[in-house]
Structure 1
Amino acid sequence: MTSYDVAVLGLGAMGAAAAWRAAARGASVIGFEQFTSAHARGSSHGGSRIFRKTVFEGIDYVPVVGRAERLWAQLEQESGATVFRRSGGLCIGAADGELVRDAMRCADEGDVEIELLDADALAARYPQFAVAPGDVGVLEPGAGVLDPEGCIRAELDLAKTAGAELWFETRVTGLRYDEDGVRISVGEETITARRAIIATGAWFTDLVPELELPLRVQRSPLVWFAGADHAAYGPERFPTFIWESGELDGWGIPDVDGRGVKVGAGGSARKPWLEHASDNDYPIGPRDTDPVQAFVRRAFPGLDPVPVAATPCMNSKSPDGDFLIGVPAAAPSLVLAGGFSGHGFKHSAAVGDIAVDLALDGASEIGLGRFSPDRFLGTA
Structure 2
Amino acid sequence: MTPSGGRYDAIVLGVGGVGSAATYRLARRGASVLGLERFDVPHGRGSSHGRTRLLQRLLDGDPATMALADRAHEAWRDLEAETGRDLLTGTGSLAVAVGGDDPVASARRACERHGLDHESLSGPELSERYPGYDFPDGAEALYQPDGAVVASERGVVAHVAAALDAGATVRARERVVDWEAVDGGVRVDTDRDTYCADRLVVTAGAWAARAVDALDGLVEPCRHATAWFAPSGDRSVPLAAGRAGEDASGSLPPFVATVDGENYYGLPGRSLPGMKFGRADFRRTAPDALSDPTQADERPLRAFAEEYVPGAAGSTLRLSTGLVTNSPDGRFILDTLADGRVAVAAGLSGRGYKFAPALGEVLADLTLDGGTDFDISEYALDRFD
- TM-score scaled by length of structure 2: 0.90
RMSD across aligned positions (CA): 2.1
In structure 1, the residue matched to 2:240 is 234
In structure 2, the residue matched to 1:42 is 46
1:252 aligns to 2:252 (yes or no): no
In structure 1, the residue matched to 2:279 is 265
CA distance in 1, matches of 2:262, 2:69: 26
- The one-letter amino acid paired with 2:284 is W
Q: Deviations over 1:234-253 (max 9, x none)?
A: 22321110011326631010
Aligned counterpart in structure 2 of residue 345 of structure 1, from 340, 348, 353: 353
After superposing on structure 2, the runs of 4+ consecutive aligned residues of structure 1 that deviate more than 6 Å are none
CA distance in 2, matches of 1:76, 1:182: 34
CA distance in 2, matches of 1:366, 1:143: 22
- Secondary structure of the 1:34 match is coil
Question: In 2 relative to 1, CA 317–331 (structure 1 residues): closer, same or farther, beyond 3 Å?
Answer: farther
CA distance in 2, matches of 1:348, 1:337: 10
1:368 aligns to 2:376 (yes or no): yes
Shift of 1:212: 2.7
CA distance in 2, matches of 1:312, 1:273: 13
2:96–2:139 contact (8 Å) kept in structure 1? yes
In structure 2, the residue matched to 1:151 is 155
CA distance in 2, matches of 1:137, 1:252: 14
2:33–2:168 contact (8 Å) kept in structure 1? yes
Q: Structure 2: 5+ residue runs without aligned partners?
A: 242-247
- The one-letter amino acid paired with 1:245 is V
Question: In 2 relative to 1, CA 110–354 (structure 1 residues): closer, same or farther, beyond 3 Å?
Answer: farther
Shift of 1:371: 1.2
Shift of 1:306: 5.2
CA distance in 2, matches of 1:223, 1:161: 35
- The one-letter amino acid paired with 2:376 is L
- The one-letter amino acid paired with 1:19 is T
1:81 aligns to 2:92 (yes or no): no
CA distance in 1, matches of 2:329, 2:314: 32
Shift of 1:185: 0.9
1:94–1:100 contact (8 Å) kept in structure 2? no
Question: In 2 relative to 1, CA 213–70 (structure 1 residues): closer, same or farther, beyond 3 Å?
Answer: farther
Greater CA drift, 82-91 or 127-136? 127-136
- The one-letter amino acid paired with 2:237 is A
CA distance in 2, matches of 1:78, 1:200: 26
- Secondary structure of the 1:219 match is strand
1:27 aligns to 2:31 (yes or no): yes
1:118–1:135 contact (8 Å) kept in structure 2? yes
In structure 2, the residue matched to 1:284 is 293
In structure 2, the residue matched to 1:114 is 118
In structure 1, the residue matched to 2:17 is 13
Shift of 1:180: 4.3
Greater CA drift, 245-254 or 344-353? 245-254
1:47–1:149 contact (8 Å) kept in structure 2? yes
Shift of 1:12: 0.2
CA distance in 2, matches of 1:363, 1:108: 31
Greater CA drift, 155-164 or 330-339? 330-339
- The one-letter amino acid paired with 2:257 is W
Shift of 1:360: 0.9
Aligned counterpart in structure 2 of residue 359 of structure 1, from 352, 367, 371: 367
Give the 5 Å matches for 1:177-326: 177=181, 180-187=184-191, 189-209=193-213, 211-226=215-230, 227-229=232-234, 230-235=236-241, 236=248, 237-246=251-260, 249-266=263-280, 269=281, 271-274=282-285, 276-280=286-290, 282-304=291-313, 307-326=316-335
Question: In 2 relative to 1, CA 188–141 (structure 1 residues): closer, same or farther, beyond 3 Å?
Answer: closer
Aligned residue-pair number: 371
- Secondary structure of the 1:233 match is coil
Q: Structure 1: 5+ residue runs without aligned partners?
A: none
Greater CA drift, 62-71 or 222-231? 222-231
CA distance in 1, matches of 2:301, 2:212: 35
- Secondary structure of the 2:95 match is strand
Shift of 1:182: 1.3
Shift of 1:342: 1.1
